[in-house]
Copies of this chain bind each other. A is one copy, B any other.
Amino acid sequence: MAVKKPSIHDIAREAGVGVGTVSRVLNERPNVAEATRAKVEGVMERLGYRPTFAARHIRTGRSQLFGFLTDQVTTTPFAHDLIKGAQARARQADRMLMVIDADGDDRVREQAVSNLIERGVEGIVYAAMFHHEVHVPQALHEVPTVLVDCFTLERDFASVVPDEVRGGREATERLLEEGHRRIGMVTNDLLATKYPAAVGRLEGYRAALDAAGVAYDAELVREGLGNADSGYRFAHDLLDLDDPPTAFFFGTDRMAMGAYFAFAERGLRVPDDVSVVGFDDQHYIADALRPALTTMALPHSAMGRWAVDHLLTAPWGDDRLPLQRRLPCPIVERGSVGPVPASDAGEEP
């Protein structure tokens, strides 16, 4: 350890001015003579001065800090997009983000919230890695909070989630628009209707068919588990039907990936023989498939950005109902959707 870091007093003494003047220079206040400013800045430069943020914080009460807390264990690759989105918005506003991975442990999570509050955060983003209902630490009520990709049953926090229904509808519409009428769907785990990602996407699928005047056929819908095996198995199942689908909508990209292997085994080419739309835009999968997979992107970055933006701009004093926001899942066109194959096209009027 060489020497103690210089403080504003050291600068003042060295420059032969008062501490107030140094502070004014530091904060670029207008009422400082140019000569004085230059002198002070010279001394700062020479001594390698850096302001101490904590001192400013304690005096002004502004921490310029937001907390970002993740729910549960997060082995998904989504976390990072979320953080990036949140951080991008925070940086615009000259704020920093304290990220904490709560690791699925309730006590860790409570502890983390306490820590963040003690560090004076101006708000907290509480993010789940898949869309579901959550129970959050009580202390979150002490500070402005936005829930991301999740919600409480009581709706007592602002929240932002993907618009699953609309995503499911648009995915299906994309296939309808190419002329497909027999569209197979494999949903995520519907598990007691708890997961919006499963229920909502299926609802969107039905809505799109309705709007297009295509009758819903329960035989074309299977309940998968979200993994590659489900996609593989149910793709085979559906293709074994008497009147098999010409297109598939999978509730996850991983299921779509499993299905690709089923297609390969049957000698079916994507998108010539069969069209596919996935969901999630896990681009390390979607990009790597051959052909690359057209899929619905979860708006992780946008949700992260929205959350911080809301923390920055929403009026936190009043008692209005916390905003519940849905963000669209844009389609990412790659190469897995094509027109109905000629042999099937005859079915069209």
Contacts and interface: CB of A to CB of B under 8 A. Distances in A.
Contacts of A98: 96-99
A29 B80 CA distance: 41
Interface string A198-238: 00000000000000000000000000000111001000000
Interface residues of A, number: 54
A290 B232 contact: yes
Contacts of A265: 264
A50 B108 CA distance: 18
B51 A54 contact: no
A263 to B, nearest CB: 9
B258 A261 contact: no
A324 interface: no
Contact of A58 (B58, B232, B254): B58
Interface stretch (A114-122, A168-176, A239-247, A337-345): A114-122
Contacts of A91: 108
A326 interface: no
A288 B119 contact: no
Contact of A317 (B1, B257, B264): B1
A50 B117 contact: yes
Interface string A50-80: 1111110110000100000000001101011
A147 interface: no
B63 A83 contact: no
One complex includes copies of this chain to the number of 2
Interface string A91-110: 10000111111010000100
A105 B233 CA distance: 45
A114 B53 CA distance: 11
Given A58-B55, A100-B96, A74 B63 contact: no
B288 A228 contact: yes
Nearest to A261: B290
A74 B54 CA distance: 30
Contact of A83 (B52, B54, B101): B101
A289 interface: yes
A77 to B, nearest CB: 3
Given A87-B101, A99-B99, A101-B87, A114 B50 contact: yes
11 contacts: A52-B120, A53-B119, A77-B80, A83-B99, A87-B101, A88-B103, A97-B100, A228-B289, A258-B290, A261-B290, A264-B264
Given A50-B118, A84-B101, 12 more contacts: A50-B117, A54-B57, A54-B58, A80-B101, A96-B115, A96-B119, A227-B288, A228-B289, A260-B261, A264-B264, A285-B285, A285-B288
> Which 8 pairs of residues, A with B, have the shortest CB-CB distance?
A77-B77, A228-B288, A264-B264, A99-B99, A54-B57, A54-B54, A54-B58, A53-B118
